[in-house]
A and B are shown apart, each in its own frame.
Chain A
Amino acid sequence: MIGIIDYGMGNLHSVCSALKRIEQPYILSGNPEELHETDGLLLPGVGSFKDAMNELEETGLIDFIKKETENGKPLMGICLGMQLLFEESTENGLTKGLGLLPGKVDRFSGVTAEGKSYKVPHMGWNNLHFLQKEQPLLKGLDEGYVYFVHSFVVQTDDRNVLAAAAHYEDVEVPAVVGRDHIMGTQFHPEKSSETGMGMLKNFCHFVEEGKQR
């Protein structure tokens, strides 16, 4: 059973219907007690980093997520949900994140090192380059196109957490990140055709395997 964390941010419908399509049982809840009963957590999110952290704080979900992941429960963040896994973001003023992965989140500058301006958000289909083929989300998949929509991007000095990247202008965009049982995708896997759906399936398998360990 997967628990989709509902904290009032963004469109959860698409994640729910994606899990339905792959016949994965799930619950949608903002209640820590209910979510505790699940085997793995999905943290979606569309909107601003600051609003999201405020919502998580008010609902007591920050402590919950930290405790669950400390105890080894798998967690996958999607889009803003992935950014929240990192230490901090500059969106709408510097805000602390969940701090589960090393790195910070900052806006695309909109200008390359050579001074050429480019469009922000990074919106559309971009090709993934796998850096760690054995990362649980990427297992058995081929590099392919996935759908991005974001104006902020993760920056990390720790290459170990970078599982796949996309290139937008002169920026290496962390697209799939992860360490142990904590992982995430910057793009929307539920909107990224077969490649994205493959990663959701992989997460569900990972959760299933964890149960048997």
Chain B
Amino acid sequence: MLTKRIIPCLDVKEGRVVKGIQFLNLVDAGDPVELARFYDRAGADELVFLDISASHEGRDTMVEVVERVAAELAIPFTVGGGINKLEDMKRVLRAGADKVSVNTAAILRPELITEGSDYFGAQCIVVAIDAKHDEELGSWRVYTHGGRKPTQWEVTEWAQEAVKRGAGEILLTSMDKDGEKSGFNLALTKAVSEAVTVPVIASGGAGNADHFYDAFTEGKADAGLAASIFHYKETSIGELKSELQKLGVSVR
């Protein structure tokens, strides 16, 4: 039986890991290669790197980081942020990433998903979705540009469109919950998990093992992603997994 995956996320800016609370207030949390090695040894099932560099220099630094990280890791890792065209995907995958994640660029030009999927296979293409509850829509609205710009997309419709175009996985972040540590957005996670046929990674709001348990059971997520609770050693992956195991969740 497949296990539920626990995925630490590293937001990388100009070569350093940082973490924002609701996309603001970046605080330095360390060297990405060090953290990657640490999480590999600690039992992480996968890693996600999001490049939030503003400049081209920062993006070039990221390719070097990917190469150095790839040399250390014996688990899969995904790189996202600043991937706007097939060429960007090639660069990152050649540097040693196993998957790429696309967000804003996929909304602006959904063909990008198909191009990547046809070239590398669907398993390489993760579509990241930032969603926020919307009264008018009576559902969750998809946002782009790091959560700054609302789109016309309702979240399940966009998730289905992304899968139809070749996404192999959905990385779903609740903007309402991000950085709050009050639990994943279960209704959102469930809605998207039930709408698509590919794995869904729940993100945003993880604070403790119960939150992951709820995301895997009620939320029907295949994986749970978190950043700050791991970076600041509030929860170790080992402890988290043993608690989940006690609750009857299959973990590695």
Is B20 an interface residue, CB under 8 A from the partner? no
Contact of B198 among A18, A119, A190, A192 (CB under 8 A): A119
Contact of B74 among A117, A151, A193 (CB under 8 A): A193
Is A206 an interface residue, CB under 8 A from the partner? no
Contact (A18, B74) CB under 8 Å given A13-B95, A120-B197, A125-B3: yes
Is A130 an interface residue, CB under 8 A from the partner? no
Q: Given the complex, which residues of B lie within 8 Å of A122, measured CB to CB?
A: 2
B79-87, B106-114, B118-126: which lies at the interface: B118-126
- By beta carbon, the residue of chain B nearest A48 is B121
- Is the beta-carbon distance between A123 and B169 smaller than 8 angstroms? yes
- Is the beta-carbon distance between A17 and B70 smaller than 8 angstroms? yes
Q: Given the complex, which residues of B lie within 8 Å of A21, measured CB to CB?
A: 71, 74
Complex Cα spacing A188 to B197, Å = 23
Interface band, chain B? 20 to 34
Is B243 an interface residue, CB under 8 A from the partner? no
Complex Cα spacing A193 to B45, Å = 9
- Is the beta-carbon distance between B120 and A47 smaller than 8 angstroms? yes
Is A26 an interface residue, CB under 8 A from the partner? no
Complex Cα spacing A124 to B199, Å = 9
State which residues 30-75 of B face A: CB under 8 Å: 40, 45, 70-71, 73-75
Is A132 an interface residue, CB under 8 A from the partner? no
Among B73, B121, B198, chain A packs the most CB atoms within 10 A around the CB of B121
How many A residues have CB within 8 A of the partner chain? 36
Is A46 an interface residue, CB under 8 A from the partner? yes
Q: Given the complex, which residues of A lie within 8 Å of B186, measured CB to CB?
A: none
- Is the beta-carbon distance between A125 and B98 smaller than 8 angstroms? no
Instruction: Give a binary string over B1-43; 1 marks a CB under 8 Å from any A CB, 0 the rest.
Output: 1110100000000000000000000000000000000001000
Q: Given the complex, which residues of B lie within 8 Å of A14, measured CB to CB?
A: 70, 96, 98
Among A14, A46, A151, chain B packs the most CB atoms within 10 A around the CB of A14
- Is the beta-carbon distance between B2 and A46 smaller than 8 angstroms? no
Q: Given the complex, which residues of B lie within 8 Å of A117, measured CB to CB?
A: 197
Q: Given the complex, which residues of A lie within 8 Å of B120, measured CB to CB?
A: 46-47
9 A-B Cβ contacts within 8 A? A13-B95, A121-B123, A122-B2, A124-B223, A125-B5, A149-B123, A167-B1, A194-B74, A196-B74
Known A-B contacts: A121-B198, A168-B1. Give 4 more (CB < 8 A): A11-B96, A121-B168, A125-B2, A168-B2
Q: Which A residues form the contact surface with B (CB < 8 A)?
A: 11, 13-14, 17-18, 20-21, 46-48, 110, 117, 119-127, 145, 147, 149-151, 167-168, 188, 190-194, 196-197
